[in-house]
Structure 1
Amino acid sequence: MNKTFKSLSEPNRFQIVELLKKEPLSVGEVAERLQLSQPQTSKHLRALMNAGLVEVNAVANRRIYKLRGEPFKELDNWLHSYRHIWNEKFDRLDDYLQELQKKDEDDDGKD
């Protein structure tokens, strides 16, 4: 999972993943949409492939890149272990906001 975080921490690679989330693309299509040079795009795609985040399929003379689901499933499972912390904090915030609203309604009723 460290490879995943390291790869996604680079802004261009993160943007490439965001593009590939929508549809598989060739190197040229990625380069054009992100306004990067083709060699620079290939370098980022190679890093994403080495991290196991993307896979490539050769179609005629084009290489089409698409996301692999497994690393993102691993990431989601890891994040799931922290969701209870966020949910508890949101529940406490909700309780606090309800207390404030009730207090405000009580103060308005005293006028």
Structure 2
Amino acid sequence: MVAKDTLSLIFAALADPTRRNILTTLSQRAATVGEVAEQFEISAPAISQHLKVLERAGLIERTTNAQWRTLTIRTEPLDEASVWVDQHRRQWNQRFDALEEHLKTMTKKEEQ
């Protein structure tokens, strides 16, 4: 089953180290497909697949100017993922705090 919701596409795209490296490159400056590809020792079709995944997730944008295809990073999807992580981090921390309090209560009862 292939996920199609935005967050699933974003996290799936970020799951691969090559795609994360591509995003790191593009966070420094826009680059052509060729400039991105020359950083990796993988085939052109493999790079193309990685770029399609990033594009589908909305993490990059391709523009064409004459024969040049320029890639730029889009940070909005990363913001969306960050909001989701922060929301859940707060919930997890609250649960850990509640567990810690419960364990303290149990320890006090055992000591009595």
- TM-score, scaled to structure 2: 0.68
Aligned partners of 2:81, 2:61: CA distance in 1, in Å?
17
Determine if contact 1:27/1:38 at 8 Å carries over to the other structure: no
Determine if contact 1:55/1:67 at 8 Å carries over to the other structure: yes
Tell me how far 1:71 sits from its aligned partner. 0.3
Structure 2 match to 1:45: 51
Structure 1, 76-85 or 37-46: larger mean CA deviation: 76-85
Aligned 1:25-104 pairs, distance under 5 A:
25-84=31-90, 85=93
Aligned partners of 1:83, 1:23: CA distance in 2, in Å?
31
Structure 2 match to 1:108: none
Structure 2 match to 1:18: 24
Structure 2: 5+ residue stretches without partners: 1-6, 98-112
- TM-score, scaled to structure 1: 0.69
Q: For 1:62-95, what per-residue CA distance to the aligned partner results, in whole angstroms no more than 9, with x for missing partners?
A: 1111111210110121122245439x98xxxxxx
Aligned partners of 1:42, 1:59: CA distance in 2, in Å?
18
For residue 33 of structure 1, give the secondary structure of its aligned residue in structure 2.
coil
Answer with 1 or 2: which has the greater Rg. 1
Aligned partners of 2:44, 2:34: CA distance in 1, in Å?
6
Structure 1, 48-57 or 75-84: larger mean CA deviation: 75-84
- Report the RMSD for the aligned CA atoms in angstroms: 2.2
For residue 34 of structure 1, give the secondary structure of its aligned residue in structure 2.
coil
Aligned partners of 1:83, 1:8: CA distance in 2, in Å?
18
Aligned residues: 89
Q: Per residue, is there more helix in 1 or in 2?
A: 1
Q: For 1:32-57, what per-residue CA distance to the aligned partner results, in whole angstroms no more than 9, with x for missing partners?
A: 11233222211110111111111101
